[in-house]
Amino acid sequence: MAKAKLRQDSSADRHQQRGATFSVRLADGRFGACRVLRVEPQKQDGMSLVAATQYVGDRPPDLSEPLLASILLMNSVGCHKAQRIMGYDFPCVWWQHWQEPPPAEFQYLGVLKPAPVEERMNPDSYSRYWENWAKYILQEWRWRNDQKAFIADYDRIYGAGWVRSVLAEKKRLADLTLPRLRRKRYFSEWDGFVPAKVIRESRKIVKETIDGLIALGSKPTKKTAVPILRHSIERFNSLADHINTIERENILEVFYEIVRVAGVKGCDHLAEKSCDF
């Protein structure tokens, strides 16, 4: 016990080191790996930006293993669910809190210098628990290599046909465009509960927000999109007296959908952080 404790203490600050790479023990006995892309001690509590790699093998890898330099892209149905069914592969990269170092079973492999594009990543997602790395690495490996059993497990947990319904929803979202969103009739479920003028104004806000994003062209940037999205939130804030919990959730869902379809990364939580309703 004392030996394991000493091992953990000896590497207590390595997760605060840019490029630090660790092997991760998976539930099936194999190993994955993750590495630190960036450190920001000035953030509250201190943060490390950590990425899962594509390595999965029977033993901890050598630092020369090429797959350690490749960030894992998540595409399993479980990840689609967890990430609001984004409709595209997304890198398994999270901000990791510094309150606790990796568990003792995370073996330190050395330093693998991140590429500039990796260091510039700025995801909204956070992971409070180092153990989450093992969960998602194995989940993605099973989706790619043992999909039949993976689907059977998820259908058993969530009900028969659950995976099929998630994949259908993914396809539907992938086919959406901003012009198609503009044609939708939003907030019909508010009829009889919210004043008609508030419903009309809410629909107007959504349409004008979509129009503003369409005007930015096929590939709007976060810099050009944020002013439009913030203005949308401010307009909804002006209706706060008529917005309760259910209406708030409806508005946030619409906002998330617009941001996803527009392809603007890093704005998913903008509404939740800025809304007064």
- For residue 260, give the amino acid letter: R
- Among residues 213, 273, 212, which one has the least CA distance to residue 237? 273
Query: How do residues 180-207 score in pLDDT, each as one tens digit?
Result: 999 999 999 999 999 999 999 999 999 9
Residue whose structure tokens are 């809410």: 202
SS3 state of residue 108: strand
Residue-level pLDDT at 219: 84
Which stretches of the chain drop beneath a pLDDT of 70? 1-12, 44, 77-89, 268, 271-277
Q: First-to-last CA distance in the chain?
A: 51
CA-only gyration radius of the chain, Å: 22
Residue-level pLDDT at 265: 75
d(CA 258, CA 246): 19
Residue-level pLDDT at 6: 31
Predicted structure pTM score: 0.65
Residue-level pLDDT at 8: 40
Measure CA 199 to chain center: 31
Residue-level pLDDT at 187: 95
Residue-level pLDDT at 3: 34
Domain boundaries, the chain: 2-158, 178-274
Residue 210 tokens, joined = 């979509």
Residue-level pLDDT at 149: 92
